[in-house]
């Protein structure tokens, strides 16, 4: 499954409310006041995608859909067969963190779309042969969290990034570093304000590393 690579509230994991700074940063202070990263880097994300092979197919597809759509866990749980455009490899996601009802279309890898279509008989359902209003994953948020935590454990990931939000943050960081325009990422993530999406520009990218490498070479 990993070979495809080629929450609506403001609470932390302990149940406490996040401060505004905590909610708009990719780092959090731990008990020693050190900065703890809340996103997965490229190598960690690769390991998580590969670790989905340890799950049964439907939980694995859930984790992969989270990772490749950048959606919130509740948004993926709300998906039904009519949410998918199979040929275009698009998912229509209802943005659940907006006051007004809003839908955004997000592309996913065609290989993942084909696996979803096959496992959930999406084409047959969309042709009216079965009920198309049922959710694909009929599990609770708690169970969905456990699926993600299981994948993280198999991948050897721990800390603040080992959660669904860590996958969402890694999607934001990775797409920007791949050259996706920030306004497009804003739409894919369902952010009402561009300033929210801009937190992902704070992560050092390949271009910045190249500049630093030039400095190191000249300093020898």
Q: What is the pLDDT of residue 7?
A: 34
Evaluate whether residue 204 is within a structural domain. Answer: yes
Walking along the chain (220 residues) 10 residues at a time, the average pLDDT comes out as 43 37 66 79 96 97 98 96 96 86 95 97 85 88 97 96 95 94 96 93 82 85
- The residue among 75, 46, 207 whose CA lies nearest residue 144 is 75
Share of the chain above pLDDT 70, in %: 85
DSSP H helices in the chain: 20-23, 42-51, 57-69, 73-77, 110-120, 122-126, 141-155, 164-177, 182-189, 194-197, 206-218
Evaluate whether residue 10 is within a structural domain. Answer: no
Give CA–CA dist 63/151, Å, rounded. 8
CA distances to 37, 46, 108, 155 from 158, in Å:
11, 15, 26, 9
Evaluate whether residue 91 is within a structural domain. Answer: yes
Q: What is the pLDDT of residue 14?
A: 32
Question: What is the CA 12 to chain-centroid distance, rounded?
Answer: 17
Evaluate whether residue 20 is within a structural domain. Answer: no
Q: What is the pLDDT of residue 130?
A: 65
CATH of residue 194's domain is: 1.10.443.10
Q: What is the pLDDT of residue 129?
A: 62
User: How many separate helices (H) and strands (E) can be counted in the chain?
Assistant: 11, 5
CA distances to 61, 116, 146, 183, 187 from 89, in Å:
15, 10, 27, 21, 17
Evaluate whether residue 209 is within a structural domain. Answer: yes
Number of independent structural domains in the chain = 1
Q: What is the pLDDT of residue 220?
A: 73
Evaluate whether residue 117 is within a structural domain. Answer: yes
Q: What is the pLDDT of residue 10?
A: 37
Q: What is the pTM of this model?
A: 0.84
Evaluate whether residue 155 is within a structural domain. Answer: yes
Range of the domain at 78: 26-218
């Amino acid at each position: 499954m990993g070979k495809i690579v080629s929450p609506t509230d403001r609470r932390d994991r302990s149940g406490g409310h996040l401060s505004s700074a905590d909610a708009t940063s990719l780092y959090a202070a731990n008990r020693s006041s050190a900065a703890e990263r809340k996103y997965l880097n490229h190598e960690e994300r690769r390991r998580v995608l590969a670790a989905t092979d340890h799950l049964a197919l439907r939980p694995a597809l859930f984790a992969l859909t989270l990772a490749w759509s950048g959606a919130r866990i509740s948004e993926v749980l709300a998906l039904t067969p009519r949410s998918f455009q199979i040929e275009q490899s698009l998912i229509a996601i209802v943005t659940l963190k907006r006051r007004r009802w809003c839908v955004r279309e997000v592309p996913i890898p065609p290989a993942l779309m084909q696996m979803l279509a096959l496992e959930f008989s999406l084409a047959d359902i969309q042709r009216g042969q079965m009920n198309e209003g049922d959710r694909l994953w009929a599990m609770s948020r708690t169970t969905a969290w456990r699926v993600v935590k299981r994948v993280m454990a198999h991948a050897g990931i721990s800390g603040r990034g080992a959660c669904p939000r860590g996958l969402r943050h890694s999607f934001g960081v990775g797409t920007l570093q791949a050259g996706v325009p920030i306004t497009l990422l804003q739409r894919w993530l369902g952010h009402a304000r561009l300033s929210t999406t801009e937190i992902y520009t704070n992560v050092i990218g390949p271009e910045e590393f190249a500049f630093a490498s030039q400095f190191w070479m000249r300093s020898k």
